[in-house]
Structure 1
């Protein structure tokens, strides 16, 4: 078997086991099947199984020790900023309480990112934000993907903030927007803020109005949190 095939099998097994752990198929604190049993159960090589176990350990989902076997760790140990872990949580039918937590983190990050973008954005970065704004307008007409357009807009602003830690939040933002858009539209019955709101944010950033850029996003996320709280 080629290295690429082994890698694919490892990724598939990691995904399958990760989803199962997040869904509670393997209870916290209890033992999981051994590598040898997993190897037979999923019909993959021992090396692929071993690598999958290592990956899940690195993500904080399990511990694997000689003579003690594989055990599922409590959620407090999981790396919730890992893009795989986030996607597995999203697949496990996220609740409004999870949406609240996502939105709380967004409220802690995004207004400050807007303010820093208003202060630090280069002409090239402003152009990238403007292009993302155009995509949002296109998405409203059904000519682009709504989720991708919103992610592109927000990630362009995180890049423009100039803060290397904010830039690292791009995968988290992608996951947060996925769950936010899904719940705002389907559960809360609220559509995403329209292109005019994003245009106002862009104008504030372009004009260097840090206070307005901050306030626009802080207000919209505060409203979103209030709505979520009212439904919990």
Structure 2
């Protein structure tokens, strides 16, 4: 789940073909995040994992190296591969973030997720309102239109919502805001996941209206209004995420 939007596309439940390497990465990575492989414990030895996943030693070792790079595992001589403590996890890695979607609810993680958004996205919206261009506004209005025409398709609606936030992040010209793509997408996934099976038109209508206001404030150069409107959309996501848990 490394391409922007891929996590939201996966909410439909359609499985995607995986090669052996990515399958092992996904299974062990998701297992670490969910607690199936507990922090501080040692993974089964190579022979056991090779048998479990039906892969060669080469495929297994490459997958474990990838997970080490993401901070989830640490190899120790004469000990084996252990599950690293949470402080080492690369939480800005889109794949690590995506694995949290299916894990048991972690209130501290969810709180931190929305707090980081509240810290950076509203200021980004204010900055964009200060120096927006006609092309940027055109793109924002395009994604608003996509939301309007996707009210009967929660997945397309969610993707349009996310793309709007990406446009704003890009327009802020702040690399640290751009680094939030995965985090913003995960927040949207938490909010929209219940809509995939049980769409609520009232929820989508409210989300649409709040985003129309956000773009309107940016278009008219209202920095304070854009900042508040962005805060309101983030709070909306938070409330929906908490309400369904």
Which TM-score applies when normalising by structure 2? Answer: 0.80
CA contact under 8 A between 1:99 and 1:179: conserved in structure 2?
no
Name the SS of the counterpart of 2:124 in structure 1.
helix
Map of 1:60-209 to 2, 5 A cutoff?
A: 60-142=71-153, 145-182=156-193, 191-192=203-204, 193-209=206-222
Q: Over the residues paired in the alignment, what is the CA RMSD in angstroms?
A: 2.9
After superposition, the Cα gap between the structure-2 partners of 1:100 and 1:134, relative to the gap in structure 1 and judged at 3 Å, is same
Q: Which runs of 5+ in 1 are unaligned?
A: 1-6
Which stretch of the first structure deviates more once superposed, 135-144 or 117-126? 135-144
Larger radius of gyration: 1
Distance (whole Å) between structure 2 residues aligned to residue 142 and residue 229 of structure 1: 22
Distance (whole Å) between structure 2 residues aligned to residue 143 and residue 225 of structure 1: 18
Which TM-score applies when normalising by structure 1? Answer: 0.84
CA contact under 8 A between 2:90 and 2:96: conserved in structure 1?
yes
Distance (whole Å) between structure 1 residues aligned to residue 168 and residue 188 of structure 2: 14
Name the SS of the counterpart of 2:101 in structure 1.
helix
Give the corresponding residue for 1:4. Answer: none
Distance (whole Å) between structure 1 residues aligned to residue 118 and residue 111 of structure 2: 10
Give the corresponding residue for 2:223. Answer: 210
Q: Offset of 1:78 from its aligned partner?
A: 0.9
Q: Which runs of 5+ in 2 are unaligned?
A: 1-17
Give the corresponding residue for 2:24. Answer: 13
CA contact under 8 A between 2:40 and 2:84: conserved in structure 1?
yes
Q: Offset of 1:127 from its aligned partner?
A: 1.5
* Count of paired positions: 225
